[in-house]
Amino acid sequence: MKILLVEDDKQTADYIAKGLREHGHVVDHADNGRDGLYLATGEKYDVLIVDRMLPQMDGLSLVKAARASGMKAPVLFLTTMGGVDDRVAGLEAGGDDYLTKPFAFAELRARIGALSRRPPIVATTSLVVGDLEMDLLARTVTRAGKRIELLAQEFKVLEYLLRHAGEVVTRTMLLEKVWDFHFDPKTNIVETHISRLRSKIDKGFDKPLLHTIRGAGYVIRAPD
């Protein structure tokens, strides 16, 4: 495998690179975030190993920028930051796994092997439920071929629902993922947008797609 290691601690980097090369892997090394991003977006790698605390650009920013540029390789964060919030932040930034220092090299090898066996990420350009289709590239929505005009936040709500089609999506999930609220703002912003969405995607059609699950949340699903 071809592996990119982004680690600013020379002793740790030498230890990891030497061990991986002894097991037949090709290892490129960057000791700062900017060089790591340059390599991650300019070369093709099977796995990235990225430290969180890096000079010039931190690991989270590196992975976010690489993902935004279309980089699909799995990412293993390797860091001393082992709190629950730290791990969640790493995964939400685009990481696929998270290993804290100090670590056993055997476990590092096992995690790299597991990541390499995952199927490649396939970029999704459209989301479809029944006769409703969202084109993520053109940022358009149609139902039965009819164009539906949505405001920016309405589009985000619908996109989240479509990505979780058939699953119940709670009000809290929408507040966190669409509006980035990690507290209850005590407003009816979610209910208002759901009502607008329902009138736009279901009005005039025989079978509704967007449903309210009383006491739980909302679900979008194809008609039976």
Rounded Cα distance between 64 and 133, Å, is 27
Tokens linked to 161: 């629902």
Q: Which residue has the higher pLDDT, 104 or 117?
A: 104
Its domain, for residue 201, covers 126-220
SS3 content of the chain, % helix, strand, coil (to 5): 40, 20, 40
pLDDT of residue 12: 94
| CATH number of the domain enclosing 84 | 3.40.50.2300
Q: Is the pLDDT of residue 118 over 80?
A: no
What's this model's pTM, rounded to 2 decimal places? 0.55
Q: 93 and 165 share a domain?
A: no
Termini Cα distance of the chain:
46
Residue 119 pLDDT: 65
Mean pLDDT of the chain: 91
Q: Are strands 210-213 and 146-148 parallel, antiparallel or unpaired?
A: unpaired
| Tens-place pLDDT, residues 1-47 | 999 999 999 999 999 999 999 999 999 999 999 999 999 999 999 99
90-103 per-position pLDDT tens digit: 888 889 999 999 89
pLDDT at 84: 86
Is residue 121 in some structural domain?
Answer: no
Contact 65, 37 (CB under 8 A): yes
Asked if residue 190 belongs to a domain, the reply is: yes
Q: Are residues 112 and 179 in the same domain?
A: no
Look at the chain and report how many structural domains it folds into: 2
Q: Is the pLDDT of residue 123 over 80?
A: no
Span 166-221, pLDDT tens digits: 999 999 999 988 998 888 888 899 999 999 999 999 999 999 999 999 999 999 99
Label residues 150-173 b or e (16+ Cβ within 10 Å = b): beeebbbbbbbbbeebeeebebeb
What is the share, in percent, of the chain residues with pLDDT greater than 90? 71
* pLDDT over threshold 70, residue 124: no
pLDDT at 120: 60
Percent of residues, the chain, with pLDDT higher than 70 = 97
**Nearest C-alpha neighbor of 45 from the set 60, 30, 58:** 30
Task: Tell whether omega for the bond before 208 is within 30 degrees of 0, i.e. cis.
Answer: no
State whether 211 and 153 are in the same domain: yes
**Domain end marker among 94, 116, 138:** 116
The two structure tokens encoding residue 82: 């082992």
User: Is residue 122 pLDDT above 70, yes or no?
Assistant: no
| Per-residue pLDDT at 70 exceeds 90 | no
153: number of CA atoms within 13 Å, CB side? Answer: 14
Please check whether residue 61 lies inside any domain of the structure: yes
Do residue 25 and residue 130 come from a single domain? no
pLDDT at 183: 80
